[in-house]
Amino acid sequence: METLLGPLFEAVTGKAADQITPLTASGSNRRYYRLQNTEAGVSAIGVEGTSRDENDAFLYMANHFAGKGLNVPRILGVAPDRMSYLQEDLGDTLLFDYIADGRKSGVFSDKEKQMLRQTVKNLAQLQTLGAEGFDFRRCYPQPEFNLRSIQWDLHYFKYCFLKATGLDFQENLLEDEFERLAYILLEPRMNTFMYRDFQSRNVMIASRRNAQGDNVETPFFIDFQGGRKGPVHYDLASFLWQAKANFGADLKEDLTGIYLDELEQHMAVDRGEFRKTLQHFVLFRTMQVLGAYGFRGYFEKKPHFLQSIPFAIDNLRHLLTGAREDYPYLIDVLQRMTEMQQFKEAGIRQPLVVRVYSFSYKKGIPADSSGNGGGFVFDCRGVNNPGKYERYNFFTGMDEPVIQFIEEDGEMKPFLEAAQKMVDASVKRYMERGFRNLMVCFGCTGGQHRSVYAAENTARHINEKFGVEVRLIHREQDLERLLPAHHAPARPVKNAKA
């Protein structure tokens, strides 16, 4: 393997590298290697950069952040010419892969959610604590998020993506609105660190010992060399609206709240104003990403980026449904762009997904995260309640004692038969008309017994009868389960135990 990192590894570790393995770098011109001495069990990640200035920026940032106790890879050694260096080996698990099941299904497990929550908390710490004593003059290529850097990104989108589509637009009107958007983005003046490329591929999950001596999976941040002084909104928008993340509205809201809780530990925050400003950054970041995908995909012919374009276009479609009136011509151009024939792949008719909820009326009816506006809500409170008997206090509608009570009591069966008859008719019509989302909710007093039983039974009924994907959410138990889509004959399904 032709690399000068071998001698550096030996100088740092005192061991010769008997294995040097090249690693994939998706969008970077830097080259990465894993260097190992297998006998001694020693390893490190070697990096060969193409720009000394960029290397210097990363090395300064990494050492500064590590000195603040933030989760970044430690720098182990630097070559004399500063064109290559060694850093701590954090393993192979990207956050992108760690949450793969949730990204594919749209239903994230408790484990995945907890890691996402920890990641956004750590982001807020990096942006604020990391900015303390930070010399922003050391950043590359720009020390600060400013008008010029915004214009670069907007022009990146215009020349590398928008013009490549062949869409007709009035450039002077578009530039006027680019300028209007830029001044909106510059309004929040913040002495904070802006990561600038904060996404799940730039977060590693590594095991570390906590204060109690237990090994705990922990997020570490990598590839922050493009960071600079700037508003924190940019990074949150980049992370939550990443093209392939597939975070639903509820999860985005949850993670935004967790992030703001942590941010408030370090600075004053007007939550209402923050959320308004965040939406401008989401639109800006989406355009910047499309510019990058256009350049890397159309011009550099890298398939990974071409494959991501439909996801970004679909993201943009959802954004435009609630678009602001601050820049109407820009919104019109983007709307027409998403409707172009060449992007129909991003708008292919997608199969129906049915979300079935159980909930407590005391806490309100569940919000619809799909944007469809809601669906069926069935009130189970008229059915005999096992919750009035103390022996059922520690069980739910998924447990055998409650199931036996409900089925022997007999009141639930006619209730569900009537409810499922209505739901079946809608599922059939939704499938025929190409609708993508249907929501079915069952509520009771505490959201523990009757509603849980009804939701379990109905979710299974829909999945078995129609073969569609069903996402079952027991809100008060904070439990989610995916019933995958499959091909099934349209046949009646008997009520069965959960």
pLDDT above 70 for 261: yes
Residue 496 has pLDDT above 70, yes or no: no
pTM over 0.85: no
Q: Which two tokens stand for residue 74?
A: 């430690």
The encoded tokens of residue 382 equal 């008229």
pLDDT tens digits, 205-225: 999 887 788 889 999 999 999
Judge whether residue 193 has pLDDT over 50: yes
Check residue 107 and give its pLDDT. Answer: 80
For the cut 50, the answer to whether the pLDDT of residue 55 exceeds it is yes
User: Percent of the chain, pLDDT > 70?
Assistant: 93
| CA-wise closest residue to 160 among 300, 313, 308 | 300
What pLDDT sits at residue 497?
Answer: 32
Judged by DSSP in three states, 467 sits in coil
Beta-sheet pairing, 353-360 with 437-444: parallel
- Give residue for tokens 């506006």: 373
Contact 278, 241 (CB under 8 A): no
Mean pLDDT of 168-195: 95
Domains present along the chain, CATH in parentheses: 5-87 (3.30.200), 95-342 (3.90.1200.10), 353-483 (no CATH)
User: What pLDDT score was predicted for residue 45?
Assistant: 97
375-402 pLDDT, tens per residue? 999 999 999 999 999 999 999 999 999 9
Burial readout 384-405 (b: 16 or more C-beta within 10 A, e: otherwise): ebbbeeeebeebbbbbeebbeb
User: Which pLDDT score, from 0 to 100, does residue 498 have?
Assistant: 29
* pLDDT for residue 349 is more than 70: no
Helices and strands of the chain, counted as H and E runs: 16, 14
pLDDT in tens, 107-135: 888 999 999 999 999 999 999 999 999 99
User: Which pLDDT score, from 0 to 100, does residue 176 have?
Assistant: 96
Instruction: Look at the block and give the residue holding tokens 């935004």.
Output: 256
pLDDT of residue 493: 34
Q: Which of 365, 487, 490, 370 is nearest to 435 (CA)?
A: 370
Q: Which pLDDT value is given to residue 348? A: 47
- The pLDDT > 90 percentage for the chain reads 75
- pLDDT at position 27 is 58
Average pLDDT on 84-101 reads 95
Mean pLDDT of the chain: 90
